[in-house]
Amino acid sequence: MKKVVHWSTKDVLLWLTNVGMQEYSEALRHLNGKGLMQLSKADFQTAPLALVTLDGGRQLLDKMETLRIEHHIETHKNRHANGHAILAVNSEVNGNKPERNGVVNEFHKERIQIPMPEITRSPFPEEWGKTGVAFVYATICFIFTTIMISVVHERVPAKEATPPLPDKFFDFFGRVDWAFSICEINGMILIVLWLLQWALLKYRSIVGRRFFFIIGTLYLYRCITMYITTLPVPGMHFKCSPKVLKELEVKYGILYRQDNVILSGTHTHSGLGGYFQYTLFMITSKGYIKPSIKAIVNGIVKSIDIAHRNIKPGRIYMSKGELEESNLNRSPHSYLNNPAEERNKYKSNTDKQVTLLKFTDLDGDGMGMLSWFAVHAVSMNYTNQMVSSDNMGYASYLLEQEKNIGFLPGEGPFVAAFASSNLGDASPNIRGPFCANTGLPCDYLNSSCPIGGLKMCVALGPAGSDMFNNTKIIGENIFKRAKDLYGKARQEVRGPLHAAHQWVNMTDVTVQLNSTHTSRTCKPALGHSFAAGTTDGGGDLNFTQGAVEGDPFWDGIRDALLGAPSNETQDCHQPKPILFSTGEMTWPLPWHPSIVDVQIITIGPVAIVAIPGEMTTMSGRRIREAVKQVRIKYHTHTNVGTHTHARAHTPHACTPTH
């Protein structure tokens, strides 16, 4: 037998193959027998040997130890024919020289037995076992991905009801019918070629193991991506809406759908929180709160159940009027940035218009009313810690109590609904902003005080700092005007009923500015003035309203913690300095909705527009005028009511100059 120390590199590679350690062939291809016997456990802790297996070389070290023992025994066999011998020769004492390896008078031999481990080898190589584990991993990932595809498929609306979002690629390239077949054929050819190549490889187990691990990981990534990706369906940004519609579908089939049911809030700042799935809103409510969802959904579904049980033929009447001394523009300087010719069309820098629909049965008995008025429901200020429907809710309470004599609140047959309109800059604190520490008016440009800054600038309601009386006074004003218009409503609403709903990717909409210029929307972002708050509740830091320049200090902190806004987003939002580029922030969930839904319901000459944003005075007026102009093209004079905060919530929507 050739001594190990005399092995060549080929002998070492042959031995590795014979003992089933061929995975080390690449790492030890330059090592001869002497170098092999000098390997120690420390060598398997560093590259390249540490990269071969995860057992720290334990198996190979065991086989090397066996090789050393075999080599040691073979060496001694070649040196002594009878193995180890201890010679004790009596004649040596007498001065006679003993003969070696022969029979000598009084020659004594003692045989020493060296235990040798039994060399066994599993009929099933360990590498194939690892490949089997990788195959099981890939199979599990494939099963989870298949299940996730089924779940996601159930959430995607039908193409007939909601067309897919526009695809930029197919905007420029036509559809090729045979392209999909070619892709399938190419895919099958590649699979067959890979299998043939794999079958001819020497180390099939290692390649197979890596293949299954990569495929399984790709399936796992796909599963996770499908689970967390924002789909263009309602459930991804307003949790209440899909739950309500799902329950209504179970009870009433297709009678109540997302196109003919408008869900909107009065935007009270004392309402429940935790029902949005976006990080920015979760921060203010300290997370997603399931009891809030349950309470809101149950309340909405119950109200629709009651209305459905009391369906009867009836009539609708409309009336309009104005309400004074109930709202104030809290950003008057920004309003003045709108074009003068546009501002001159209106008497006030807030929307004073009240639009009311009166519902009666065929006998003329009142069943309910729906009105729109632009005012923030913030008469209950930020110190209030209890749930409150605020001034709008108080107006509803007063009118329902007057119509439902003998009934407890909320249990009578007459329903008075007061909806929010273009209230983005309309405050109920009609006495205006004053510095709490000096009693002087706040700075007109940025609503701050010389001493104390934004925090000292507080807007006061008609009753001063008494938020309960402020709520009562504004609520009574709205109630009295609605009651008056309800009694004067004589114009009957007649005509067909239509409803339409659409999902819009607001990050990529091309807007036609005029006959020669277009513009494009971009990802949402919050400016520095966002952190300043409003005179209804200012911020705690040194931000100011109307800021057109960023702050290097806060921008530096933002860049370090959240990352800087992209150049594209900054250019698109000019001249607004970006504080948080929420459209580019996706951890742990997206910070802002990108895909929102818009809705319109028309009843004869009345159009009800449902918008997810919080419209300012002028932006709301523009939307009403735009809808009117479109309807006029079809020879229909239209009265428009705007439902803001419908289905979802996006930040304030204002004109570019505002």
Binding residues: 267, 376, 614
Task: Tell whether omega for the bond before 48 is within 30 degrees of 0, i.e. cis.
Answer: yes
In order of 80, 226, 500, the CA distances from 4 in angstroms are 19, 57, 85
Task: Tell whether omega for the bond before 565 is within 30 degrees of 0, i.e. cis.
Answer: no
Instruction: Output the six-digit token pair for 28.
Output: 């030890």
DSSP state of 275: -
Instruction: Output the six-digit token pair for 339.
Output: 């074009």
CA 270 to CA 517: how far, in whole Å? 43
CA 21 to CA 64: how far, in whole Å? 11
**H or E segment to which residue 359 belongs:** strand 353-361
CB 529 within 8 A of CB 548: no
Cα angle, residue 328 at apex, residues 582 and 655 outer, rounded to 5°: 40
Who contacts 572 (Cβ-Cβ below 8 Å, separation ≥6)? 520, 521, 522, 523
**Helices in 384-466 by DSSP H: which ranges?**
390-403
Phi-psi domain of 187 (left: phi exceeds 0; alpha: psi -120 through 50; beta: other): alpha
User: HEC string of 27-84?
Assistant: CCCCCCHHHHHCCCHHHHHCCCHHHCCCCCCHHHHHHHHHHHHHHHHHHHHHHCCCCC
End-to-end CA distance of the chain: 94
CA 608 to CA 595: how far, in whole Å? 21
Among candidate residues 427, 448, 594, 619, the one labeled active-site is 427
CA 388 to CA 271: how far, in whole Å? 6
CA 226 to CA 148: how far, in whole Å? 7
Look-up: residue for tokens 């009027």? Answer: 321
264 a catalytic residue: no
Beta partners for residue 316, in sequence order: 359
CA 7 to CA 20: how far, in whole Å? 18
Q: Which residues does the annotation place in the binding site for Zn(2+)?
A: 267, 376, 614
DSSP string, 93-144: HTTPPPPSSS--TTEE----PPP-------SS-HHHHHHHHHHHHHHHHHHH
CA 480 to CA 371: how far, in whole Å? 12
Q: Name the residues annotated as catalytic.
A: 427
